[in-house]
């Protein structure tokens, strides 16, 4: 069943080229430029920006959880614009249906046949805004797309563009009108990040500076689609030594030794390795170090191990050690 002519502008799957050393060097310079520009938009959150870009270059999906108004949508839009990716935004609500995201088959009376009208998910970067305000049925509509990079409707399978990413935002569960994401959905997100409140200096810059929406309009594309695909290939080539893998596996074993939560699954372990490789790549080196694993560990594991985001006003401003922080403190780098 062919897509209707109205949707034939959907980006097509691209053939990947073999990268050279010069290509990688050029990409590294562009990545540094991209982060510098994004840090001018999302102030005082350089580590979150670096982790978010690492997740994208690792080919994974991102979950941004925080209070409303913290800059989650600004970060997602900035990434899409700087990476030159096709972008769609869907505002999730409690009355949304799966077809509102995936698309549906509509009968064409002129052609006397059904035609599939692609939904907003047929893009390169989908911003699923406030994903936990929709029902579990609508949330689960994203599962196949996130894992298989395809959509199945009425027995027909439609591939999604390459690359394809989902950046979802969610509000704290303490707020009204939200549905918790099931574990199977959470496991599809490579990284879960939280922006948090800005520092006083950053907040003053926001008060005295230009509107973020105006700054977003002025961003120029730094990496195009081909460069993103090239970077993804570069991430896969980042070397990880056996001694570093030993450390990674000790961390994983520690997650599985607890009676309080289920440990990391094999998919979670692969996600941890891939995220560490991407973080090393973004940092400008082609070998994973224990510091790279430590940098991504919380973002990869906490949401998989049941760690719920608690905003500062709920915890009384007291910082409590997360599951990942306790594990990192208990597992030695070298034994």
Helix 290-301 vs helix 46-57: crossing angle, to nearest 10: 90
Cβ atoms within 10 A of the Cβ of 212, count? 17
- Name the superfamily (CATH) of residues 237-335: Magnesium chelatase subunit I, C-Terminal domain (1.10.8.80)
Is the overall model pTM greater than 0.75, yes or no? yes
How far lies 63's CA from each of 51, 157, 229, 279, in Å? 12, 26, 21, 17
Strand partners, 115: 106
CA distance 126 to 40: 23
What pLDDT, on a 0 to 100 scale, did the predictor assign at position 174? 64
Q: Phi and psi dihedrals of 258, rounded to 5?
A: -90, 150
| 315 token code pair | 């915890």
206: left (phi > 0), else alpha (psi -120 to 50), else beta?
alpha
Closest CA to 53 of 69, 37, 71: 37
Helix (H, G, I), strand (E, B) or coil at 126: strand
Closest CA to 217 of 71, 77, 87, 123: 77
| Regions of the chain where pLDDT drops below 50 | 1-17, 312-319
What pLDDT, on a 0 to 100 scale, did the predictor assign at position 5? 33
CA distance 81 to 72: 15
How far lies 85's CA from each of 33, 116, 170, 223, 312, in Å? 17, 23, 22, 9, 34
Q: Residues 154-165, buried b or exposed e (16+ Cβ, 10 A)?
A: eeeebebbbbbb
Tell me the fold of 22-233: Rossmann fold (3.40.50)
Please name the residue ranges forming H helices in 58-209: 72-83, 99-102, 136-140, 142-148, 183-186, 200-208
Q: Where are the domains of the chain?
A: 22-233, 237-335
Separation of CA 310 from chain center: 20
């Amino acid at each position: 069943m062919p897509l209707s002519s109205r949707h034939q502008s959907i980006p097509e799957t691209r053939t990947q080229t073999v990268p050279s050393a010069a290509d990688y060097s050029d990409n590294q310079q562009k990545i540094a430029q991209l982060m510098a520009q994004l840090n001018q938009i999302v102030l005082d959150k350089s580590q979150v920006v670096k982790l978010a870009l690492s997740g994208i270059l690792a080919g994974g999906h991102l979950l941004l959880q925080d209070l409303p108004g913290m800059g989650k949508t600004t970060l997602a839009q900035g990434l899409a614009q700087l990476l030159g990716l096709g972008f769609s935004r869907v505002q999730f609500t409690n009355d949304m249906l799966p077809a509102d995201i995936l698309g549906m088959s509509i009968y064409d009376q002129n052609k006397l046949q059904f035609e599939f009208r692609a939904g907003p998910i047929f893009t390169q970067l989908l911003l699923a805004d406030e994903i936990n305000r929709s029902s579990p049925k609508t949330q689960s509509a994203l599962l196949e797309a996130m894992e298989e990079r395809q959509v199945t409707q009425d027995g027909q399978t439609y591939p999604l563009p390459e690359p394809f990413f989902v950046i979802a935002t969610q509000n704290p569960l303490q707020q009204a009108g939200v549905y918790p994401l099931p574990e199977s959905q959470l496991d599809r997100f490579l990284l879960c990040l939280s922006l948090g409140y800005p520092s006083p200096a950053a907040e003053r810059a926001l008060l005295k500076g230009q509107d973020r929406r105006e700054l977003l309009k002025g961003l120029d594309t730094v990496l195009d689609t081909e460069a993103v695909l090239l970077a993804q290939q570069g991430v896969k080539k980042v070397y990880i030594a056996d001694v570093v893998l030993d450390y990674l596996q000790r961390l994983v074993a520690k997650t599985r030794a607890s009676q309080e939560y289920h440990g990391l699954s094999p998919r979670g372990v692969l996600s941890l390795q891939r995220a560490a490789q991407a973080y090393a790549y973004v940092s400008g080196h082609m070998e994973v170090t224990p510091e790279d694993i430590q940098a991504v560990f919380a973002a990869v594991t906490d949401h998989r191990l049941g760690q719920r985001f608690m905003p500062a006003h709920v915890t009384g401003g007291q910082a409590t050690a997360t599951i990942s922080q306790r594990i990192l403190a208990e597992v030695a780098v070298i034994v």
